[in-house]
């Protein structure tokens, strides 16, 4: 039976193995390749998407667990936090090889959406699940702060 | 240090020899006509190559060649065709910057794309003067492109100016170019795009004048040149090999032997074939491939596959046994001489003080974030490859051999690589050949996308060689370094490969480069290398031999300074009289870090230990020094601040240089603090990031300050040189903080934990 879910505001029906990780359903079946495979064990964060707004490792999330839910991938990232994060990423040239950055941006935008003025400790907590082998970490931290400053502070 | 000549070494290697013969001058000329309505410059300037080679210190007279590196389209974009893979190191920004400078282009009109695989047009002159190998490695991309691309930009500018002069009927000398606009004092203006078609029809000028570096506007400018790939890499739109989607494409995974060197004995594919979505199970030389309609089915199919392995020829030793053997072999009967001056043995006997050091370095996986992936499409008489190719023409030759085709029948599409750090540059082109052999074994019926999982990557070999060093260093009564005896044991990356011709006097330079007696003045030196023969496949790993030689050198010298009662910076300077660049970089890092000011070393009130350490190292034509300030708490090292000085010649794009220093520090810290591949009875103990730990954001130094030495020298490497000196700088800081002498990587701070009161 097809699994129904919403991806980037589009209703989708997926007739796949319910155990298939959401990552592979997105990439292989919906051709949304911005979400990356890095480890398959929720250890590196390259596959991070938002499910109902929450950052989630799609490589260990069965597609059936996303049934009826709203999935946002890097291709569908929008809203003030998402845009601020992407602009900051480009503005200070965070990416190097760039492969992990979709996941970094999905984690960072979820952090910023929930916490308009994250401290360094908040950033460590939210971002330490995302590995970057190019070690762009100094710029990731700076970009998150920059993005936060570009948004009006929440009262 | 001169780079060895790879192309001569490879000349005898049949796949490549065939490739080189098959490329004729006519092939390059084709490129000069593909521009359509735009301008593609085929620049025939032997002098470019000659200058480029002089820069690298390699002798030789290059032949005649064309270099089509610049395309100007009617839409006014200037595309620089990059012969090097963009793997994060910034070539898609640095190489266009060189062209943009000489062209007086506007940065906003610059674009970058990968070149086809083609030699000698796109050969790497750092690999040899004939340009017969295309590849990215040894931090050579900028160094070997510098003169070539400056000329390419200057020729394009001259031809655009001439086209404008012809159109406006004015002397070319009255025309100026600025920010991508061609102007005449009469007020006439034209964009590059408007002039491109006319410029493309002009004869190529005989000569062009390059700018004097004092005229540079973009190169070296602290007004940042934004990376050309930041937007695509921040929106998920950059295409990596794993993102390639072709009609009817199938996805493959390969079950490989559990021990290196084992072979397939028998296959039971019934259960694998029963997995929905699996379409084929085929044996290939490197294992057994499961081919399926999607990645998940391929993975499940592989899990269901049963293969019995013949392990009679497999490597069954573990790393504990190997290090025991290395210790015994060190300086023994099979040791070959690397350096020999004066009388080291005699000087050690008469030295006032002799310090003895043993060091162990584990195997290391590169673990790029994009696991190895390649797409191969076979059709009659043709093979097309999509991958983050690091050795384009070697990959082309290997793919051709695997497909039973000629190299010129293989098209290589070099995509952005999701990191490589050396892993994608291997002479067997392992992952590309796997994709081709699977496509062939399945009859060329569909394009094949081969995906390695992280487990395949961590357990799949081609590691930084495990290495053992034994050093004895003698000091005179007044603390001067008089003698060093150093014995190195590891596997050879080059021996037994087509690169073996690069070995000199039986020594693999990648095993010993950056040695203590090479970079410091030591009157009496005796250095040997012993080749270990182990069935674990190995490879160059970001900064190659320097990953261990720099650690040994900088820890030894630091401890000698302490034994001599001297300041670590002053002591190093006394040994660097013949290495003024290293001395200057060391001094700059020390000055900027406030080395002359007291640092709160030792136990702090909260029970932590603080320390500061320094290290300097020359590699890939550049010198980097790091000062590391650290805190040790409960046996855990936290690097708080790093102050870096780098001399890389002209820093073409300073922000990319800074990014590479940050990256090199993070990569080196992963190895210092966590990185280790071990084997038990020949089986790799680690499988994914939970066991092969790498640095995370909370472990990255919060403060990294980078100072670039102003220089008028031609650019040298930046991708690798930041890595070697970070681990010894931190080790020296740990010793300052705790008194613990670190002799093995990754650091074992159990003793520091025990120090907690």
Q: pLDDT band for position B590 (50/70/90)? A: very high
Task: Write the secondary structure of B339-374 as one string of H (helix), E (strand) and C (coil).
Answer: EEECCHHHHHHHCCEEEEEEEEECEECCCCCCCCEE
What are B131-179's pLDDT values in tens digits? Answer: 889 999 999 999 999 998 998 899 889 999 999 999 999 999 999 999 9
- The residue behind tokens 């009659």 is B380
pLDDT more than 90, % of chain B: 82
Task: Give A 26-45 residues with CB within 8 A of chain B.
Answer: 27-29, 31, 33-41, 43-44
Could you tell me the two tokens for B512? 């010993």
Could you tell me the two tokens for B213? 């570096």
Find the range with the poorest average confidence among B16-25, B357-366, B398-407, B712-721: B16-25
Query: CA-to-CA distance for B450 and B252, rounded, in angstroms?
Result: 5
Name every residue whose Cβ is closer than 8 Å to that of residue B77 and which is 6 or more positions away in sequence: B109, B110, B111, B193
Top CATH class of A79-150 equals: mainly alpha
pLDDT at A142 over 50: yes
Q: Which 8-state DSSP code applies to residue A26?
A: I
pLDDT at B756 over 70: no
Q: pLDDT band for position B57 (50/70/90)? A: very low
Chain A residues with CB-CB distance to B88 below 8 A: 95-98, 134
Q: What was the pLDDT predicted at B13?
A: 57
For residues B152 and B139, the answer to whether their CB atoms sit within 8 Å is no
pLDDT at B363 over 90: yes
Give the distance from residue B445's alpha carbon to the nearest chain A alpha carbon, in angstroms: 19
The distance of Cα A136 from the centroid of its chain, to the nearest Å, equals 17
Whether chain A has a CB inside 8 Å of the CB on B701: the answer is: yes
Calculate helix-pair angle for A137-150, A101-114, nearest 10 degrees.
Answer: 40
**A49 phi and psi angles, rounded to 5 deg:** -130, 175
Of B421, B665, B688, the CB nearest to A41: B688
CA dist B495 to B144, B351, B507, B538, Å?
Answer: 26, 37, 9, 11
The distance of Cα B248 from the centroid of its chain, to the nearest Å, equals 35
Q: H or E element: which one contains A71?
A: strand A70-72
- The residue behind tokens 């592979």 is A24
Short-list B520, B531, B619, B632, CA closest to B578: B520
Q: Which 8-state DSSP code applies to residue B176?
A: E
Task: Give A 89-118 residues with CB within 8 A of chain B.
Answer: 89-90, 93-102, 105
Q: Domain B330-363+463-754: give its CATH code.
A: 3.30.365.10
Query: CA-to-CA distance for B121 and B49, rounded, in angstroms?
Result: 11
Q: SS3 of B413, please?
A: strand
Q: Which chain B residue has the Cα nearest residue A20?
A: B296
Find the range with the poorest average confidence among B369-378, B600-609, B670-679: B600-609
The interface predicted TM-score of the complex, written ipTM, equals 0.98
DSSP per-residue letters across B38-97: SEEEEE--HHHHHHHHHHHT---------EEEEEE-TTS-EEEEESS--SSS-HHHHHHH
Name every residue whose Cβ is closer than 8 Å to that of residue B228 and which is 6 or more positions away in sequence: B92, B93, B96, B110, B111, B112
pLDDT at B654 over 60: yes
Q: Which of A20, A23, A39, A98 to mutate to test the interface with B (most CBs of B within 10 A)?
A: A98
> Omega before B746 cis (within 30°)?
yes
Task: Write the secondary structure of B622-648 as one string of H (helix), E (strand) and C (coil).
Answer: EEEEEEEEEEEECCEEEEEEEEEEEEC
Query: CA-to-CA distance for B638 and B251, rounded, in angstroms?
Result: 42
Q: H or E element: which one contains B154?
A: helix B141-168
pLDDT at B50 over 60: no
Please give the mean pLDDT across all residues of chain B.
91
Domain boundaries, chain A: 3-76, 79-150
Calculate helix-pair angle for A120-127, A137-150, nearest 10 degrees.
Answer: 120
Q: Domain B6-233: give its CATH code.
A: 3.30.365.10
Q: What was the pLDDT predicted at B751?
A: 74
Contact A96 B370 (CB under 8 A): no
Positions of CATH 3.30.365.10 in chain B: 6-233, 244-312+372-451, 330-363+463-754
Q: Which chain A residue has the Cα nearest residue B225?
A: A93
Name every residue whose Cβ is closer than 8 Å to that of residue B641 and which is 6 or more positions away in sequence: B628, B629, B701, B702, B703, B704, B705
Q: What was the pLDDT predicted at B616?
A: 98
Could you tell me the two tokens for B116? 């086809």
Q: SS3 of B669, please?
A: helix
Of B240, B453, B666, the CB nearest to A99: B240
CA dist B693 to A61, A131, B687, Å?
Answer: 23, 10, 10
Give the distance from residue A5's alpha carbon to the nearest chain B alpha carbon, in angstroms: 19
Calculate helix-pair angle for B141-168, B192-200, nearest 10 degrees.
Answer: 90
Please give the mean pLDDT across all residues of chain A.
97
Query: CA-to-CA distance for A81 and A84, rounded, in angstroms?
Result: 5
What are B484-508's pLDDT values in tens digits? Answer: 999 999 999 999 988 888 899 999 9
CATH architecture of A3-76: Roll (3.10)
Q: Domain B244-312+372-451: give its CATH code.
A: 3.30.365.10
Chain A residues with CB-CB distance to B235 below 8 A: 34, 74-75, 86
For residues B91 and B124, the answer to whether their CB atoms sit within 8 Å is no
Of B86, B237, B659, the CB nearest to A93: B659
């Amino acid at each position: 039976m097809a699994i129904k879910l919403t991806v980037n505001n589009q209703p989708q029906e997926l007739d796949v193995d319910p155990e298939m990780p959401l990552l592979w359903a997105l990439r292989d079946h919906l051709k949304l390749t911005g979400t990356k495979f890095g480890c398959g064990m929720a250890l590196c964060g390259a596959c991070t998407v938002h499910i109902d707004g929450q950052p989630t490792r799609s490589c260990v999330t069965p597609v059936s667990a996303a049934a009826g839910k709203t999935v946002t991938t890097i291709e569908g990232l929008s809203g003030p936090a998402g845009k601020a994060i992407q602009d900051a990423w480009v503005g200070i040239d965070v990416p190097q090889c760039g492969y992990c950055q979709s996941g970094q941006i999905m984690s960072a935008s979820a952090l910023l959406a929930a916490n308009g003025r994250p401290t360094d400790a908040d950033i460590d907590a939210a971002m330490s699940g995302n590995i970057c082998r190019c070690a762009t970490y100094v710029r990731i931290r700076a970009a998150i702060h920059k993005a936060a400053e570009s948004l009006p502070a929440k009262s | 240090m001169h780079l060895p000549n790879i192309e001569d070494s490879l000349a005898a290697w049949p796949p490549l020899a065939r490739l080189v013969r098959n490329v004729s001058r006519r092939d390059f000329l084709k490129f000069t006509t593909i521009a359509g309505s735009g301008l593609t410059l085929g620049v025939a300037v032997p002098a470019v190559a000659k200058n480029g080679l002089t820069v690298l210190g390699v002798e030789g007279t290059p032949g005649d060649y064309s270099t089509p590196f610049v395309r100007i389209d009617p839409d006014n974009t200037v595309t620089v065709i990059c012969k090097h893979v963009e793997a994060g190191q910034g070539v898609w920004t640095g190489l266009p910057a060189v062209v943009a400078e000489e062209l007086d282009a506007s940065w906003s009109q610059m674009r970058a794309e990968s070149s086809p695989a083609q030699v000698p047009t796109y050969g790497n002159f750092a690999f040899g003067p004939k340009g017969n190998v295309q590849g990215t490695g040894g931090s050579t991309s900028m160094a070997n492109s510098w003169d070539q691309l400056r000329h390419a930009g200057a020729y394009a500018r001259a031809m655009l100016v001439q086209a404008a002069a012809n159109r406006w009927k004015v002397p070319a000398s009255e025309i100026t170019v600025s920010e991508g606009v061609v102007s005449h004092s009469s007020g006439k203006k034209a964009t590059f795009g408007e002039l491109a078609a006319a410029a493309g029809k002009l004869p190529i000028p005989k000569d062009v004048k390059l700018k004097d570096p004092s005229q540079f506007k973009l190169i070296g400018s602290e007004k940042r040149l934004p990376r050309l790939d930041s937007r695509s890499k921040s929106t998920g739109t950059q295409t990596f090999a794993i993102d390639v989607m072709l009609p009817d494409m199938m996805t493959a995974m390969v079950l490989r032997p559990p021990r290196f060197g084992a072979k397939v004995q028998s296959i039971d594919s019934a259960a694998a074939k029963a997995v929905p979505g699996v379409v084929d199970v085929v044996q290939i030389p490197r294992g057994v491939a499961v081919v399926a309609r999607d990645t998940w089915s391929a993975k499940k199919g592989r899990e269901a596959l049963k293969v019995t392995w013949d392990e009679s020829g497999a490597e069954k030793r573990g790393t504990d046994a190997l290090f025991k053997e290395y210790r015994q072999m060190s300086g023994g009967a099979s040791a070959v001489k690397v350096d020999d001056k004066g009388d080291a043995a005699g000087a050690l006997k008469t030295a006032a003080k002799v310090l003895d050091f043993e060091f162990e370095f584990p195997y290391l996986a590169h673990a790029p974030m994009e696991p190895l992936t390649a797409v191969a499409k076979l059709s009659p008489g043709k093979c097309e490859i999509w991958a983050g190719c690091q050795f384009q023409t070697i990959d082309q030759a290997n793919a051709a051999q695997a497909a039973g085709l000629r190299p010129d029948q293989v098209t290589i599409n070099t995509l952005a690589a999701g990191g490589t750090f050396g892993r994608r540059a291997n002479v067997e082109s392992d992952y590309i050949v796997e994709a081709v052999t699977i496509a062939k074994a399945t009859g060329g019926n569909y394009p094949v996308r081969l995906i390695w999982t992280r487990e395949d990557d961590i357990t799949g070999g081609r590691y930084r060689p495990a290495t053992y060093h034994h050093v004895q260093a003698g000091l005179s009564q007044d603390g001067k370094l008089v003698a060093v005896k150093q014995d190195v044991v590891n596997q050879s990356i080059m021996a037994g490969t087509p690169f073996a011709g690069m070995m000199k006097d039986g020594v693999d330079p990648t095993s010993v480069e950056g040695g203590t007696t090479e970079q410091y003045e030591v009157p009496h030196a005796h250095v040997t290398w012993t080749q270990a023969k182990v069935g674990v496949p190995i490879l160059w790993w970001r900064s190659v031999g320097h990953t261990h030689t720099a650690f040994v050198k900088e820890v030894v010298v630091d401890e000698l300074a302490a034994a001599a009662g001297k300041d670590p910076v002053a002591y190093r300077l006394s040994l660097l009289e013949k290495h003024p660049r290293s001395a200057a970089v060391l001094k700059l890092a020390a000055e900027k870090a406030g080395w002359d000011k007291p640092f709160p070393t030792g136990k702090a009130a909260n029970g932590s230990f603080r320390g500061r350490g320094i290290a300097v190292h020359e590699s890939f034509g550049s010198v980097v020094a790091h000062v590391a300030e650290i805190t040790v708490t409960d046996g855990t090292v936290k690097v708080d601040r790093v102050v870096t000085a780098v001399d890389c010649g002209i820093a073409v794009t300073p922000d990319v240089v800074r990014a590479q220093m940050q990256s090199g520090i993070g990569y080196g810290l992963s190895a210092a603090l966590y990185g280790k591949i071990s084997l038990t009875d020949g089986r790799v103990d680690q499988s994914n990031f939970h066991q092969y730990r790498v640095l995370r954001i909370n472990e990255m130094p919060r403060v990294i300050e980078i100072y670039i030495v102003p220089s008028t020298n031609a650019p040298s490497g930046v991708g690798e040189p930041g890595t070697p000196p970070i681990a010894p700088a931190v080790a020296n800081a740990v010793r300052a903080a705790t008194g613990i002498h670190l002799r093995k990587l990754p650091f074992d701070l159990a003793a520091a934990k025990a120090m907690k009161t």
